[in-house]
Structure 1
């Protein structure tokens, strides 16, 4: 055991996995023998044997009696999968099963796969890039036929995703896309949704319209597209984009100064600048903003209008039902499943970026601008 109570064999496993992932050991390369690993790490052969067994179990290597251990290629894993009868399994990787829209994605993919002779396995990355990476490595090397990936963001794990593209492994992303990778994606029309909702606010007489997001637009394609849709709607209606009304990456600011102070400063700035409407990144932010406004004596929508995004169930259970942009999560899951199966059965690779339409759902938080 190590100082932090981690088994010694697991350290060897982690290091060899990292070397396989980074290309130090390439597909079909032979790994060092048990004896060589024992000498390298200063451990017993029992420990190195356990490490190699774990690597084999996780699908990173295969072992040939009398010859040694070899790095398993994805093509070999898929061939084994077809012969052992599990070649009909598709894996869905999600940041969390409690995330908004998650059940829609699962039902959409599962219903389509079950109707077409396939099965769905669901896995969580827990918003952890390393765990997401481990799942991508383990699932592809264990012979899973295809993957539907909801990425934590569009900035991490480029190397493994690029390698899967080169290997022509059937994989498609949902919710987010990668501009610089030839990966297929099924996403909502985030740009069009924000454009539609901000245009509606302008129709209602609003001119000073804020934008509020928890993350930076650099980290997440979906938020970036919503922000760009917000900007385009303003520009097309002759309204300048004013940085005083835009708060990006508010999560970092809240953590730095505290939640109460953040919202106090935000609402003070809205009052002083004369902001009469806010387009938020999602419904949870919109609901929090709504509650803070009401607590501060700001009437919604009489003093300020708020529009969310997603049509999360929370939208109908707050004090004032939220106006929002509805995403069709079921359809996204269904389309993603259809794409990977077409890839598997007909050799048709993912068709670039598929946009699923969204709808503006008008409820009680958006009204005419105050005179």
Structure 2
């Protein structure tokens, strides 16, 4: 039963990856109206998913009017970008297929539509070169303000001169999810360290002391989540076993979550009773893998995670720090609009940290000492 649920969960993640990727390259203008859209065969090879999964995503895109399929000819983009004199706000995001991206974007768009403001969307794929390209593009466009999700945000940013030029043109900038250590911009984000502290505390309160962790090292969220975990363990006089901590980045994602790599980590954490994972996608990947290794494993092993992004199954639900999704998007949009109307925006504070909210679930078991 559990194996079937995890399989369904994985299928849903795969479906959303294809759908989100397709939607993003269309609404961002990477593929314009009338351009040929990748075929089912091409997407099957690109993502390594089943034809059924890819077909479902294509049908969803077609239902939304983003693509149209022509028998004997192929699939084409049917979404046409509006050409207007609307005020424009740039939106820079890191990932194409991040699983809560559509809800975050919808939150931003709902406010922009109310104010008759057009979104100029850019996706960096967590590449600093791509970020530089879009910042330079915005410098030469009639952009009124910019919402940015930082790229490789755990490191100092080398595109500082481009940001300084934008500020020099009095273009307000606000970050979401993170910010750069060498750039002083306001940011709207989760309270990642506090959330991680509370999740770790929950595990400890249930008797867990041997806790492994998986964290992303090339963005600020990953560092903050590790920080909260580390501080809670220290406050409870629990030593962290470095062999039981796995770090990964955007570039080595495929390797770190290959079967061979997960098998290697599994051997190191066999004595652990719980895991804190960087996000729900990672948590469910490991839950699925653990269940294949040992069907009894998840009956005794506990897991917590972040984002509360994988919904719909009540029989197996990982306890997770909830990402605000639409709320974060709406607040970012409202604040950038306020900044557009504030001649002293650079001297005022538009930052916001969302409070910690832990979703309900059944993924934490009590350990008797």
TM-score above 0.5: yes
Q: Which runs of 5+ in 2 are unaligned?
A: 1-82
Aligned equivalents of 1:292 and 1:367: distance in 2? 19
* Residue 260 of structure 1: how far off its partner (Å): 2.0
TM score, norm. by length of structure 2: 0.69
Aligned equivalents of 1:89 and 1:252: distance in 2? 32
Aligned equivalents of 2:179 and 2:160: distance in 1? 12
Aligned equivalents of 2:181 and 2:162: distance in 1? 15
Aligned equivalents of 2:314 and 2:278: distance in 1? 17
The structure 1 residue matched to 2:364, chosen from 342, 363, 366, is: 366
Q: How does 1:39-78 map to 2 (within 5 A)?
A: none
Partner residue in 1 for 2:292: 295
Partner residue in 1 for 2:150: 151
Aligned equivalents of 1:116 and 1:253: distance in 2? 41
Q: How does 1:184-333 map to 2 (within 5 A)?
A: 184-213=186-215, 215-216=216-217, 219-249=218-248, 259-271=258-270, 274-297=271-294, 299=296, 301-313=298-310, 315-317=311-313, 320-333=316-329
The structure 1 residue matched to 2:176, chosen from 174, 177, 183, is: 174
* Residue 147 of structure 1: how far off its partner (Å): 0.9
Does the 8 Å contact 1:191/1:226 carry over to 2? Answer: yes
Cα deviation per residue 1:297-318 (whole Å; 9 max; x = unaligned)?
Answer: 15354321111211112x5449
Partner residue in 2 for 1:128: 127
Cα deviation per residue 1:231-269 (whole Å; 9 max; x = unaligned)?
Answer: 111122222233232111277777668822211121111
SS of aligned partner of 1:248:
strand
Q: Which runs of 5+ in 1 are unaligned?
A: 1-83
Aligned equivalents of 1:86 and 1:233: distance in 2? 52
Does the 8 Å contact 1:327/1:358 carry over to 2? Answer: no
Cα deviation per residue 1:190-247 (whole Å; 9 max; x = unaligned)?
Answer: 111111111111111101111112x32xx21111110001111112222223323211
* Residue 189 of structure 1: how far off its partner (Å): 0.9
Partner residue in 2 for 1:19: none
Give the structure with higher Rg (CA). Answer: 1
Does the 8 Å contact 1:301/1:367 carry over to 2? Answer: no
* Residue 161 of structure 1: how far off its partner (Å): 2.3
Cα deviation per residue 1:67-103 (whole Å; 9 max; x = unaligned)?
Answer: xxxxxxxxxxxxxxxxx98462112122344312212
How many residues are aligned here?
282
Partner residue in 2 for 1:28: none
Aligned equivalents of 1:251 and 1:127: distance in 2? 7
Aligned equivalents of 2:257 and 2:357: distance in 1? 34
Aligned equivalents of 1:244 and 1:333: distance in 2? 37
For the pair 1:335 / 2:334, whether they are aligned, the reply is no
Q: Note the aligned Cα RMSD (angstroms).
A: 2.6
Partner residue in 2 for 1:346: 342
SS of aligned partner of 1:187:
strand
The structure 2 residue matched to 1:164, chosen from 163, 166, 169, is: 166
Distance 1:86 1:246, change over 3 A: same
Partner residue in 2 for 1:113: 112
Partner residue in 1 for 2:99: 100
